[in-house]
């Protein structure tokens, strides 16, 4: 009797790196490195971007904003590096869930629909997997994001810059809504952002290998593959920044003292739709494009070091 054919399983599409528990744990580690380090590295840009969004009359451009913060508040943890610790902790947690759960949910949904629908609607699987992962990632991020924004946007001397003291003060103030008042707008910012981040990265990297780097993927060196990863991530990041900017502005505006106790609808109405969509956008495109490109590069570099290979593109043609 002929051997019974094995059922198709998305976890074993790459026999050299099966998606077992060890694989998902390694992806979690890569996500921590990718998100925690990059978000912390761009903290000075984030400080200026957040203040441009809620104090546009004072912070008019990236260069002027950097000089203003440096001259008035300094370069350290009370100035351009304000909020670096909640940034590092929050985005490390977020990265663990974002990348680890993306790989997990992607496999779950692929197996739910089966091989035929997976191959036909692969983009939908990327979108569903990334949205599901970010839903949980934002729950881990939200308290730290709220503390970060409050630290970064409070006028000098009006709010603690240390994480512990900041959380203590927010807990004591019912109007702050700590720790989950910003979760819904955070979902509104991060879920579309992450869907764009993963969908466009997966799409762009495949287009690179299909139309630009047309030899079999394994014939390119790891350095070349990682360069393709960075370029794909940077392009995807520009799209992400534009898609998620209005919600990002609302999250930042929540930290403004005069907005304490207001609903997000009221804040949006007072700011105006144009300001919501454009204030700080140029700085955010620069920040998110660079950050997303670096995140994918760090993530794939880590995967290569772990023996998992780079993301995207067909291994054989």
Q: DSSP of 223-251, one letter per residue? A: HHHHHHHHHHHHHHHHHHHHHHHHHHHHH
The dihedral region occupied by 19, where left means phi > 0, alpha psi between -120 and 50, and beta the remainder, is beta
- Measure the CA–CA gap between 84 and 151, rounded to whole angstroms: 10
Q: Cα(228)–Cα(221) distance, rounded to whole angstroms?
A: 11
Q: What is the pLDDT of residues 160-201, one digit of tens each?
A: 999 999 999 999 999 899 999 999 989 988 898 899 999 999
CATH classification at residue 43? 1.50.40.10
Q: How far apart are CA 118 and CA 128, in angstroms?
A: 12
* pLDDT for res 316: 45
Q: Answer yes or no: is 117 within a domain.
A: yes
| Nearest CA-CA partner of 169 in 250, 156, 161, 259 | 161
* Other CB atoms within 10 A of residue 309 CB: 17
DSSP-derived letter for residue 211 is I
Q: Does 127 or 62 have the greater pLDDT score?
A: 127
Burial (CB < 10 A; 0-12, 13-18, 19+), residue 285, is middle
State pLDDT tens for residues 49-105: 888 888 888 998 889 999 999 999 999 999 999 999 999 999 999 999 999 999 999
Lowest mean pLDDT among 43-52, 236-245, 268-277, 294-303: 268-277
Among candidates 126, 105, 272, which has minimal Cα distance to 199? 126
Would you say residue 313 lies in a domain?
Answer: no
Quote the CA–CA distance of 300 and 164 in Å, as a whole number.
34
End-to-end CA distance of the chain: 33
Domain span at 144: 17-306
Classify residue 44: in a domain, yes or no.
yes
Instruction: Tally DSSP H helices, then E strands, for the chain.
Output: 11, 0
Please indicate, yes or no, if residue 89 is contained in any of the structural domains.
Answer: yes
Q: What is the pLDDT of residues 290-314, one digit of tens each?
A: 889 999 999 999 999 999 888 876 5
Q: How many domains is the chain built from?
A: 1
pLDDT per residue as tens digits for the range 219-231:
999 999 999 999 9
Residue 277 in tokens: 């969509």
Residue 150 covered by a domain: yes
Residue 62 lies in a domain: yes
Count of residues for the chain? 317
pLDDT tier at 315, thresholds 50, 70, 90: very low
Mean pLDDT score, 151-159: 91
Q: pLDDT confidence of 317, banded at 50, 70, 90? A: very low
d(CA 146, CA 159): 13
Has residue 241 been placed in a domain?
yes
Question: How many other C-beta atoms lie within 10 A of the C-beta of residue 25?
Answer: 13
What number is the average pLDDT over the span 115-138? 96
| pLDDT band at residue 1 under the 50/70/90 scheme | very low
Let me know: does 304 contact 9? Beta carbons within 8 Å.
Answer: no
Main-chain dihedrals φ then ψ at residue 93, nearest 5 degrees: -60, -45
Residue 115 lies in a domain: yes
Which range has the worst mean pLDDT, 77-81, 113-117, 272-276?
Answer: 272-276
CA 253 → CA 63, 250, 268, distances in Å?
21, 5, 9
Instruction: Report how far residue 97's alpha carbon sits from residue 35's, in angstroms, rounded to the nearest whole number.
Output: 10
Question: Token pair for residue 235?
Answer: 């392009």
> What is the per-residue pLDDT for 253?
80
């Amino acid at each position: 009797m002929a051997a019974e054919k094995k059922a198709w399983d998305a976890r074993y599409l790459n026999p050299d790196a099966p998606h077992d528990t060890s694989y998902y744990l390694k992806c979690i580690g890569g996500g921590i490195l990718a998100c925690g380090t990059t978000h912390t590295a761009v903290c000075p840009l984030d400080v200026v971007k957040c203040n441009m969004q809620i104090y546009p009359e004072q912070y008019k451009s990236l260069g002027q904003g950097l000089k203003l913060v440096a001259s008035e508040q300094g370069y350290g943890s009370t100035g351009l590096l304000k909020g670096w610790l909640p940034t590092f902790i929050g985005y490390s947690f977020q990265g663990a869930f974002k990348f680890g759960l993306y790989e997990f949910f992607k496999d779950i949904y692929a197996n739910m629909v089966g091989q035929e629908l997976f191959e036909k609607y692969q983009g939908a699987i990327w979108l569903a997997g990334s949205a599901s992962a970010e839903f949980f990632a934002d729950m881990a991020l939200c308290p730290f994001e709220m503390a970060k924004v409050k630290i970064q946007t409070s006028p000098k001397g009006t709010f603690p810059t240390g994480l512990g003291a900041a959380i203590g003060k927010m807990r004591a103030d019912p109007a702050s809504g700590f720790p989950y008042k910003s979760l819904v707008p955070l979902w509104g910012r991060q879920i579309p952002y992450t869907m764009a981040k993963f969908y466009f990265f997966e799409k762009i990297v495949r287009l690179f290998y299909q139309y630009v780097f047309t030899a079999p993927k394994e014939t390119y060196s790891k350095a070349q593959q990682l360069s393709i990863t960075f370029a794909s991530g940077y392009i995807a990041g520009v799209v992400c920044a534009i898609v998620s900017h209005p919600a990002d502005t609302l999250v930042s505006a929540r930290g403004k003292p005069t907005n304490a106790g207001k609903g997000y609808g009221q804040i949006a109405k007072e700011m105006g739709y144009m300001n919501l969509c454009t204030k700080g956008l140029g700085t955010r495109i620069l920040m998110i494009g660079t950050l997303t490109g670096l995140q994918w590069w760090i993530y794939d570099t880590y995967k290569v070091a772990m023996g998992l290979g780079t993301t995207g593109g067909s291994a054989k043609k």
